[in-house]
A = this chain, B = another copy of it.
Amino acid sequence: MMRMFDLAAADPAIRFSPYCWRVKLALAHKGLTIESIPWRFTEGDKLPPGCRTVPALVDGETAIGDSLAIARYLERQYPDRPSLFGGAVGEAHAVLINSWADAVVGPALVPLLVFDVWVAVAPEDQEYFRRSREQRLGRSLEALHAERDGKVAGFRSALNPARITLRQQPWLGGSAPSYADFILAEPFMWARSISRFEVLAEDDPVGAWRERVLDLFGGLCRNAPRVEVG
């Protein structure tokens, strides 16, 4: 059975890594089950050779350490299962969508939630997490937290391309979900796992799509454990 290292909070049932969520949704889409191994930021030495962070998928002798690379691997290894990309062009287009989500959507969400992540991670991870994130973002976690109501508009604006698309079709994949939907599900599953902060306005068409994502695969996302406060 394949194994996947999945980032865990202080409560090991809470799995909040956004990139791991992409892989978990891709596995569910393919109908594949794996052994999930809870992992903490400070356990870099437990990852397979060549992998420095999560997700890390281990399939026999093969270890893959990037969510999109894992999705492409699953598509090639399991071509008879439901497709993630619908062919070579759909896969190539998903690379651009993945790049957009990573370069634009994720970075707009980080400042809103990074304090909540710090609260929720295991005590032994907190010092590493604070230091690395404050260095990267150039502010204290508390300062970012205090500003988040003013920054939520920036995140919502970053979603405009998805918003326009979801006014025309129910899924980013068209009439049914594709890996593009799992790419964009990722920031929302990150937010949902680790925080109670609502990142969307009530009437946002992206919110209606998010509800559909939460119901996929028997409620895999809706039933995922969340923090109680934050």
Chain A interface residues toward B at CB < 8 A: 83, 85-97, 99-100, 102-104, 160-165, 168-169, 171-175, 178, 180
A84 to chain B, nearest CB (A): 9
* Also in contact, A93 and B160, with CB within 8 A (given A86-B88, A99-B165, A165-B99): no
Instruction: Report B-chain residues with C-beta under 8 Å of the C-beta of A88.
Output: 86, 174-175
Q: Is the CB of A96 within 8 A of B171?
A: no
Q: How far is the CA of A103 from the CA of B96 in the complex (A)?
A: 15
A121 to chain B, nearest CB (A): 28
Kindly report which residue of chain B lies nearest to residue A101, judged by CB atoms.
B161
Number of identical protomers? 2
* Also in contact, A160 and B99, with CB within 8 A (given A87-B89, A89-B178, A90-B87): yes
Instruction: Report B-chain residues with C-beta under 8 Å of the C-beta of A97.
Output: 93, 96-97
Instruction: Report B-chain residues with C-beta under 8 Å of the C-beta of A104.
Output: 104, 160-161
Q: How far is the CA of A175 from the CA of B175 in the complex (A)?
A: 26
Contact residue among B83, B99, B164 (Cβ-Cβ distance under 8 Å from A161): B99
Q: How far is the CA of A180 from the CA of B90 in the complex (A)?
A: 10
Kindly report which residue of chain B lies nearest to residue A159, judged by CB atoms.
B103
Instruction: Report B-chain residues with C-beta under 8 Å of the C-beta of A171.
Output: 92
Q: Is the CB of A172 within 8 A of B96?
A: yes
Kindly report which residue of chain B lies nearest to residue A68, judged by CB atoms.
B168
Q: How far is the CA of A100 from the CA of B183 in the complex (A)?
A: 15
Q: How far is the CA of A86 from the CA of B178 in the complex (A)?
A: 14
Contact residue among B91, B92, B100, B165 (Cβ-Cβ distance under 8 Å from A95): B165
